[in-house]
Amino acid sequence: MGSQTPCALVVMGVSGSGKSTISERLAARLGWAYEDGDKFHPASNVAKMSAGHPLTDADRLPWLQAIADEIDRVCASGERGVIACSALKRAYRDILVHGRDDVRIVFLDGTQDLIANRLAARKGHFMPSDLLASQFRTLERPTANEQPITVSIDAPVERIVDDIVIQLNLVSQ
């Protein structure tokens, strides 16, 4: 892959790992566009989740394909973007990246205890502990052949963003 600047970064991790916060800050630092992957869910998924029903892989397919299409659009237009998306399974990441070498996965890595403590401290945010446990059971950590940028979330936001930029070998702007 070399030091080619990617056209898109997919910032992934379990709920509560800081995907939105880190993605927004990283995009601002790089001067790239930011998108929250959740906005690409079809109305049927939003309704299902709102009713408290978990999504199946079949439910996720059109969502993941919509994000992959946005990545392709951004890259084809010469733009650059950062997208926050849980992308917990390898199969999901394969849909998003689909063999491109100009799209990189950024994995926000933290322990279940650390994330549970952060979620408990958040005001106005409720995530049942069994849902967080379920996210960790589903998580398939990116492997070396995915060439992920893995960063520990046990640090202040700016340090996490610094770590990503350093691993990208990009000069911070």
22-51 residue pLDDT tens = 999 999 999 999 999 999 999 999 888 888
Alpha helices, DSSP H only, in the chain? 19-30, 43-50, 57-76, 90-97, 112-121, 129-138, 157-168
The full set of domain ranges for the chain reads 8-168
pTM: 0.91
Q: Which of helix, strand or coil describes residue 48?
A: helix
> If one looks up domain 8-168 in CATH, what number appears?
3.40.50.300
Token representation of residue 99: 């063999």
Residue 172: pLDDT over 70: no
Token representation of residue 86: 């849980």
Q: Find, among 168, 134, 133, 172, the residue nearest to 151 by Cα.
A: 168
99-157 residue pLDDT tens = 999 999 999 999 999 998 888 877 665 566 667 888 899 999 999 999 999 999 999 99
Look up residue 155 and give its amino acid. A
